[in-house]
Structure 1
Amino acid sequence: MRQKVVDHYHYGVSQGRSHVYTLNGPDGETLLLPEAIPHPEHWGPVIQDAVTEAQLPIALAAVRRGETVSFGDISVSRDAVTAYGRSITWDQMEQVSVEAGTLSLNVAGKWLPPARTKVSHIPNFFVFHALAEHLRASA
């Protein structure tokens, strides 16, 4: 699942928020949930929670077996998170955060954006975030 939630402004005045969710099935089929569906702010988080609940245990089990789990350009192993050739070990990681729609990692008191990766470009971001927080806290 990918999500893109954007606040729109015109000369500093809010013009509303748009929500676009892209779901990918196990068979690779893609379903785009358009803005035309009423109340995406309500059903979007429900879908995110369900995807995370279903996929987090699978991802965690894979990491515990020594496998690497990929989330687009970011990969997670039992030892580190790697993005664009740069690895950060879990014991170095202080916090995983999102600022203005961009993933940032706090390492030794410094925020390191993994090549300014937008949350909307990270498949199953909420699975990634929950997995990363679990591994960081366990280090």
Structure 2
Amino acid sequence: MSQYPPYPPQSPPPQGQYPPYPPQSPPPQGQYAPYPPQTPGASPVPQLPPAIYQQAASYQLGAPLQVYKPNAWSVYVLPVAALLIVLLPLLGLPSDGPASAILAFLILIIVLIIAIIGFISGFNLKVYTFAEGLVRAKGSKIDVIRWDQVEAVWQKIIKHRRYGIPIYTSYLYTVRRRDGTTFKFTGSLQAIKYLGETIQQEVTRRQLPLAIAAYNSGAPVSFEPFVVDKQGISHNRVPIPWHQIDRVGLNRGWVLVYMMGSMLGRFRTRVWRVPNLMVFMQLADYARKQTGRV
């Protein structure tokens, strides 16, 4: 089952120059408005490094917007805190036997490995957002993602609690380009929540019209495990016709398809399993209105 057609390929601009940034037109009613120029927690782009500037110009990314830097909390503070959490209780362990020493050593090694992985994943990582895409830079490795070349976005947001008390929220946004390359963006970056929202909104703004066009042509539009078509919504190949669907909603990390006259979701799937979640939600709402289900 094919997805909506890709955008036409872009031609590079004159060497070393940014292409003129096209003026923003108001979004269709009920869709996203342009993303604000300043993002809380992120930094405005003062001056692009030459390598970033060159890549942005080559891929016609347009005006630079924000830079997302490593999150000092996750890169430095959390590994140290993890070590302290493990080491402090170990100070009270009896030291008269080899078993205690071996146990303490193994725990310390495990925590060190976790801390090193966390440090490496976030150290020297920066993400630059532009009007038409983003640049991910980690050391000398630079990757470019144009918004119109994104095939799918997944989001996984978990609120961690202890004894019912919220401790922290973890974020994971997975982006797959049309060439199959996958990138992950986590809390190792500052303001990851806003970066994730930017990715979702920009991809939705470009893919929703294509999804609506595919739906109107009669083609099924896949958001595995969901499929939207003229007949209704299918989940794992089990269909529900539009006249039986009340709405599609989100609740506590679940995507729910509600039946008419029922408070319970007929279909339910974890949010993190659904690609292009915002496109799916808005396409389902559009289709319901087209069939008279408002």
Q: Same fold (TM over 0.5)?
A: yes
Q: Does 1:50 align with 2:223?
A: no
Q: What's the CA shift string for 1:45-79, capped at 9, x where partnerless?
A: 11111111010111111111111111121111122
Matching of residues 103-122 of structure 1 within 5 Å: 103-110=255-262, 111-114=264-267, 116-122=268-274
Whether contact under 8 Å (1:103, 1:113) holds in the other structure is no
Matches within 5 A, 1:1-139: 1-110=153-262, 111-114=264-267, 116-139=268-291
Report which stretch shifted further, 85-94 or 125-134.
Answer: 85-94
In the alignment, the residues of structure 1 paired with residue 166 and residue 157 of structure 2 have an alpha-carbon distance, to the nearest angstrom, of: 14
Regions of 4+ moved over 2 Å: none
Contact 2:155 2:172 in 1 (8 A): yes
SS at match of 2:243: coil
Q: Which has the higher helix share?
A: 2
Moved more, 84-93 or 49-58: 84-93
Tell me which protein shows more strand as a share of its residues: 1
Unmatched runs of 5 consecutive residues or more in structure 2 = 1-152
- The 1-side partners of 2:199 and 2:266 are apart by 27
Q: Distance in 2 between matches of 1:54 and 1:77?
A: 20
Q: Shift in Å at residue 108 of structure 1?
A: 1.4
Contact 1:102 1:113 in 2 (8 A): no
Higher relative CO (CA 8 A, sep ≥ 6), structure 1 or 2? 1
Superposition RMSD in Å: 1.1
Q: Which amino acid aligns with 2:168?
A: G
Which amino acid in 1 is paired with 2:212? L
Q: Number of aligned residue pairs: give it.
A: 138
The TM-score, its normalising length taken from structure 1, stands at 0.94
Rounded to whole Å, the distance in 1 between the matches of 2:199 and 2:236 is 29
One-letter amino acid matched to 1:112: G
Cα distance in 1 for partners of 2:196, 2:284 equals: 22
